[in-house]
Amino acid sequence: MLSRILLALSLVLLVTSLALIFFVVPTERTMGVVQRIFYWHVPLAWNSFLAFFVVFIASVAYLWKRTKNWDILASASAEVGVVFTTLFLISGSIWAKPIWGVWWTWEPRLTTALVLWLIYIAYLLVRAYASSSERGARFAAVVGIVGFLDVPIVFLSITLWRTQHPSAVIFTGGLADPRMILTLVVSIFTFTALYALLLVQRVAFKKGEEDLRRLKRLAESE
């Protein structure tokens, strides 16, 4: 039921967001039409961060309560977060090409996202490398906590590093037109709904796998 509502909501928002981006919002003067990437680029970043925050909270809760559901929530959110971060990196890189003539720029936010991406890939890998799933859950929770607390320090260090070695900066800020703000806000809601939808789906999937495992055990011991 919840996933039906979320599916409908995200579809409606998605269409609205696309309509706003392609038909309503005015073209930004300095960057031209590619600036419209911004309206999805930013929500992706925002929701990656939200996803990793959820991983952090669920990891703390898992270590505290030791209930499987917290672990399922954490790992599902990490996976969706990695998908969002990947898309954020791709969109940032495609945006950099026409504006700066390069596919990659060591812009602080982009660089921080790259480091984050690597941390959460490691998060997903630790689970696979652990010798038992309970251990994997515990180790992943530790990485989820440590990794998230690392984010502000990573961002600070990269920002400070860039101010000393200046280079291309994607976010020149300045949303002059109210229609731009509206589009951004709608897009942020769109991706938040998408995040919620994917999370709910992924959690249900993982719970199903868990049930299947339990059933199989039951069938074996019959």
Partner 1 sequence: MISRDDVGDKAIEVRKLTRTFDDFPALRGIDLEVARGESLVIFGPNGAGKTTLIRVLSTIIRPSSGTVLIDGLNIKEHAEKARRLIGVVSHHPFLYANLSAYENLEFYGRLYDVPDLKTRIGEVTTLVGMTARLHDRVSTFSRGMQQRFAIARALLHRPQIMLLDEPETGLDQQAVALLWEVLRGEAAARRTVVMTTHNLERGLDLASRLLIMSRGKIVFEGGGKSLDLAGLKQAYQDVTAEAGCPQ
Partner 2 sequence: MTFWRKVFAITWKDVLSEFRAREIITSVLVFTILVIIIFNFAFGERVEMVAVAPGMLWVTFTFAGVLSLNRSFILEKEDGCFEGLLVSPASRDVIYTGKMLASLVFLLVIEAIALPVFAFLFNLTVLTPEITAITLLATIGFVACGTLFSALATNTKARELVLPILFLPVVVPVIIGAVNASELALSGKSWGDMTGWLGILAAFDVVFLTVAYLVFDYVIEE
Partner 3 sequence: MENLGYLFAVYTIVWAVMFGYVLILIRGQNKLRQEIQQLKDSIKEKSP
User: What does the block give as tokens for 210?
Assistant: 């868990």
Nearer to partner 2, 134 or 209 (CB): 134
Nearer to partner 1, 97 or 135 (CB): 135
Residues 153 to 192 in contact with partner 2, rule: CB under 8 A: 153-154, 156-158, 160-161, 164
CA distances from 146 to 55, 110, 140, 149, 152 (A): 11, 20, 10, 5, 11
Rounded CA separation 29/59 (Å): 44
Sign of CA dihedral 196, 201, 207, 210: negative
Nearer to partner 2, 133 or 172 (CB): 133
Of 41-49, 57-65, 109-117, 127-135: span binding partner 1 (CB under 8 A): 127-135
Please state the closest distance from residue 214 (CB atom) to partner 1, in A: 7
Residues 109 to 138 in contact with partner 3, rule: CB under 8 A: none
Q: Which of the choices partner 2, partner 1, partner 3, none does residue 177 contact, using the CB cut-off of 5 to 8 A by kind?
A: none
For residue 172, give the 3-state DSSP assignment. Answer: coil
- Kindly state whether residue 102 participates in binding partner 2, applying the rule CB under 8 A: no
User: What does the block give as tokens for 17?
Assistant: 């967001």
Is the separation of the CB atoms in 61 and 70 below 8 Å?
Answer: yes
Nearer to partner 2, 130 or 200 (CB): 130
Residues 38 to 97 in contact with partner 2, rule: CB under 8 A: 63
Of 81-89, 90-98, 163-171, 211-219: span binding partner 1 (CB under 8 A): 211-219
Q: How far from chain centre, in Å, is Cα 145?
A: 16
Sign of CA dihedral 49, 50, 53, 54: negative
Q: Which of the choices partner 3, partner 2, partner 1, none does residue 30 contact, using the CB cut-off of 5 to 8 A by kind?
A: none
Is the separation of the CB atoms in 80 and 199 below 8 Å?
Answer: yes
Among 130, 168, 175, 200, binds partner 2 (CB under 8 A): 130
Is the separation of the CB atoms in 123 and 144 below 8 Å?
Answer: yes
Of 11-19, 110-118, 128-136, 170-178: span binding partner 1 (CB under 8 A): 128-136
Rounded CA separation 160/165 (Å): 9
Please state the closest distance from residue 193 (CB atom) to partner 3, in A: 12
**Residues lying near partner 1 in the complex (CB under 8 A):** 132-134, 213-214, 217
